[in-house]
């Protein structure tokens, strides 16, 4: 009975959702709400493979850009409280995330697939090494992980420095905090890193991996200013995040900011660069990376663990994650989104540290 009601609701909502939010939004939820287990191959193809010109044009251009902006603003207002928004996604179930993330670290962020034979475990190890090199942590340095997830990078740093005392992590997910405390015993606080007041010049290194995306466009300047004041003069900030490339919000991103990561309002690359400059942070390294192999690997892992996933979170949530991972892949494939890593230093850093800028796009593969 409940199942038939859900199916009726799904059909009834399609037309109004298409009119207000567009085809990409409506068809995403239409499939995600299915009470039948989705076929993985059909789902992958449905979201990642372009169809005919007219379909694609409508999908990409309706609703108009101004409407997309308003919908995004409305969703940000509705989920103004970051703790509530974060909890909806990340407190779902630690066991569920364990099913498709890498076994060693549980990174929930883009990995570096360097060889065609790399597993998600190899690729996350490659990424962890890359970022470790950027952070260059030393024993005794005070280091802060903004949005520490399940403690992946804290673990990597601790393995190098063996210094737990000076390592800190902030998250807004109670499940993640519990997981980290039980598994590693790191200093993790339930703190909104956007609204927190930081003591001036209190950290040697501050980094974020896959969490800057949660800072809304209108919060970015004030937040970045706080960070630039929170690091020591010779300190550095490392950000790994994805951003929009164009000025306009892609239609496919709408559902992400409402149903997957509620309240997200992603800025474009220009905005980040402007903000870094405005808060007197100089770019010491920038690199571009390819998110697609990670999304595909998570999709395949989730499918391989279908039965357990459904037992843990139910059919509709399982379906929603399949649709979201495939839709996200397409956003990166279309070059609507791009994954970047930056190392930033204060403009008043000692001269000795003002090394030349390094850049790297070797991980950013050709269009597949």
Q: Which residues bind ligand SAM (CB under 6 A)?
A: 82, 86, 90, 107-109, 147-149, 152, 170-173, 176, 192-194, 209-211, 214
Cis ω on the peptide bond leading into residue 63 (within 30° of 0)?
yes
Minimum CB separation from ligand SAM for residue 261, in Å? 8
Q: How far apart are CA 285 and CA 278, in angstroms?
A: 18
Q: Are strands 187-190 and 203-209 parallel, antiparallel or unpaired?
A: unpaired
Instruction: Rank residues 170 and 186 by Cβ distance to ligand SAM and give the closer one.
Output: 170
C-beta of 37 vs 92, nearer to ligand SAM: 92
Q: Give the DSSP per-residue string, 84-141.
A: HHHHHHHTS-HHHHHHHS-TTT---S-----STT--HHHHHHHHHHHHHHHH---TT-
Nearer to ligand SAM, 122 or 192 (CB): 192
Residues with Cβ within 8 Å of residue 294, at least 6 apart in sequence: 110, 111, 113, 120, 123
* 61 contacts 49 by C-beta, under 8 angstroms: no
Give 13 or 194: the residue with its C-beta nearer to ligand SAM.
194
Which C-beta is closer to ligand SAM: that of 44 or that of 193?
193
Closest separation between CB of residue 284 and ligand SAM, Å? 21
**Nearer to ligand SAM (CB atom), residue 130 or residue 170:** 170
- Name the residue nearer to ligand SAM (CB basis): 33 or 289: 289
CB of 171 to ligand SAM, least distance (A): 4
Residue 38 or 152 having the CB closest to ligand SAM: 152
Q: How far is the CB of 108 from ligand SAM (least distance, A)?
A: 4
Shortest approach of ligand SAM to residue 18 CB, angstroms? 29
Distance separating alpha carbons of residues 171 and 187, to the nearest angstrom:
11
Q: How far is the CB of 15 from ligand SAM (least distance, A)?
A: 33
Rounded least distance, CB 84 to ligand SAM, Å: 11
The DSSP code sequence of 312-339 is: HH-HHHHHHHHHHHHHHHHHHHTTSEEE
- Please tell me the distance from the alpha carbon of residue 359 to that of residue 258, in angstroms, as a whole number: 34
CB of 5 to ligand SAM, least distance (A): 33
Sequence-distant (≥ 6) Cβ neighbours of residue 348 within 8 angstroms: 233, 280
198-232 burial, b at 16+ Cβ within 10 Å, e below that, comes to eeeeebbbbbbbbbbbbbbbebbeebbebbbebbb
Looking at beta carbons only, is 31 or 299 nearer to ligand SAM?
A: 299
User: Could you give the CA distance from residue 140 to residue 246 in angstroms, rounded to a whole number?
Assistant: 41
Calpha distance 315→337 (Å, rounded): 29
Which CB, 149 or 250, lies closer to ligand SAM?
149
How near is the Cβ of 248 to ligand SAM at its closest, in Å?
24
Pairing relation of β-strands 231-244 and 281-289? unpaired
Cβ–Cβ under 8 Å, residues 227 and 203: no
Q: Any long-range contacts for 54-62 (C-beta under 8 Å, 24+ apart)?
A: 58/23, 59/22, 59/23, 59/24, 59/251, 59/252, 60/24, 60/250, 60/251, 61/251, 62/22, 62/23, 62/251
CB of residue 9 vs ligand SAM: minimum separation in angstroms? 30
């Amino acid at each position: 009975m409940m199942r038939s009601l859900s199916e009726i609701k799904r059909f009834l909502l399609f037309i109004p959702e298409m009119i207000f939010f567009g085809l990409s939004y409506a068809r995403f939820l239409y499939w995600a709400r299915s009470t039948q287990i989705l076929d993985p191959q059909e789902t992958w193809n449905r979201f990642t493979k372009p169809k005919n010109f007219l379909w694609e044009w409508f999908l990409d251009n309706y609703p108009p850009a101004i409407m997309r902006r308003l919908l995004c603003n409305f969703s940000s207002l509705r989920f103004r409280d970051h703790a509530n928004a974060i909890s909806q996604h990340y407190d779902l179930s630690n066991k569920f995330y364990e099913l498709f993330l890498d076994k060693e670290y549980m990174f929930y962020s883009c990995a570096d697939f360097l060889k065609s034979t790399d597993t998600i475990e190899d690729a996350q190890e490659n990424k962890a090494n890359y970022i470790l090199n950027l952070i260059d942590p030393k024993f005794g340095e005070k280091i802060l992980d903004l949005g520490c997830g399940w403690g992946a990078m804290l673990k990597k740093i601790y393995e190098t420095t063996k210094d737990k005392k000076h390592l800190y992590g902030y998250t807004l997910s109670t499940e993640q905090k519990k997981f980290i405390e039980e598994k590693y015993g790191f200093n993790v606080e339930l703190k909104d890193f956007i609204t927190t007041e930081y003591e001036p010049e209190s950290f040697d290194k501050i980094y974020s991996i896959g969490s800057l995306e949660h800072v809304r466009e209108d919060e970015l300047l004030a937040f970045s200013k706080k960070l630039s004041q929170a690091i020591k003069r010779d300190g550095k900030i490392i950000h790994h995040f994805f951003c929009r490339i164009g000025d306009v919000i892609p239609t496919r991103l709408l559902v992400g900011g409402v149903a997957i990561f509620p309240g997200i309002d992603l800025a474009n690359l220009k905005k980040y660069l402007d903000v870094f400059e405005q808060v007197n942070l100089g770019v010491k390294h920038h690199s571009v990376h390819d998110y697609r192999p990670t999304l595909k690997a998570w999709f395949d892992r989730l499918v391989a663990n279908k039965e357990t996933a459904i037992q843990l979170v139910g059919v509709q949530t399982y379906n929603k994650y399949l649709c979201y991972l495939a839709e996200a892949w397409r956003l990166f494939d279309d070059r609507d989104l791009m994954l970047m890593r930056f190392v930033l230093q204060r403009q008043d850093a000692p001269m000795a540290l003002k090394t030349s800028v390094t850049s790297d796009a070797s991980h950013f593969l050709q269009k597949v």
